[in-house]
Amino acid sequence: MHLDRAVDKMSLPELKSPGKQSAPANTLSPVVQLNVGGQLFSTSLSTLRKHPGSRLAEMFSGQPKLRTDAQGRFFIDRDGSHFGAVLEFLRSERLPTEHIQEVHREAVHYSIKPLIKLLEETPQMFGEQVGRQQFLSRVPHYRENIEVLIRIARAEAIAARCSTIMICVLRTEEDLGCYEEAINSLEADKESVVTFGPWKATLSVKDLLDCVKMDISSQGYKVSIQPHVMEKSFLSKSYDYFYKLVFTWW
């Protein structure tokens, strides 16, 4: 009678042993399902942790730090359009061949420094950051002027298909010395003329105009730039500093 009770007591822990071997609830699976802004990805935990100093590795280190969607996938509340390119680099160190700047923006967000460095060495990023941006940094008030141009164009867009703004481009200090005379010769509202320059760089007026068009177009506007042809007379001097910036709305 006492022996049977002893056997029963010894068998109870054996019945519970499978439960003790199961993984803790908070342990991450080696295969991770992701929902990045509605786009679905599957990858390994080691891939996400490949660069320990990155924000992405930090998200999946220790206890889970992300919410899950209705299907239990980890949810990252960010546009997932270019996350696949980031994931491909983590898997194979392969760089994207298109959408370089967009992938660079994602790499910066996730703090993946090796990817950031390699992308910045690509011809596209190098030309933008070392060439164009370095030039624009030498053009006084360039960014502010772009904002002013867009603001004026939008103000003039009421019941009109196009908005036309006059811009003045002064390449050199010598051009600046002629500014007052030139602006007085202009048959337009002198208060609404937006002036660029002068600048200390080798790039030309055409280079500046290309940058203006590029930066306004990148914000979704349809814009063209045309030289402003001034009427010449026997007594007046003609200046070629002026251009028409035309926004077309529809």
- CATH code of residue 73: 3.30.710.10
Residues 186 and 94 in one domain: no
Range of the domain at 49: 31-121
129 within a domain of the structure (yes/no): no
72 within a domain of the structure (yes/no): yes
Residues 151 and 59 in one domain: no
Task: Write the pLDDT tens digit of every residue in 152-177.
Answer: 999 999 999 999 999 999 999 999 99
Which two structure tokens, joined as six digits, stand for 185?
């010769």
Domain stops at, among 68, 86, 121: 121
Q: How far apart are CA 147 and CA 159, in angstroms?
A: 22
Domain tally, the chain: 2
2 within a domain of the structure (yes/no): no
Average pLDDT value for residue range 31-41: 96
pTM of the model: 0.71
Contact 59, 48 (CB under 8 A): yes
Residues 189 and 91 in one domain: no
Of 10-19, 112-121, 179-188, 196-205, give the lowest mean pLDDT range: 10-19
In this structure, the strands spanning 194-196 and 162-169 are parallel
13 within a domain of the structure (yes/no): no
Give the other-Cβ count within 10 Å of 230's Cβ. Answer: 18
176 within a domain of the structure (yes/no): yes
Residues 101 and 154 in one domain: no
Q: Residue 164: CB partners within 8 Å, gap ≥ 6?
A: 156, 244, 245, 246, 247
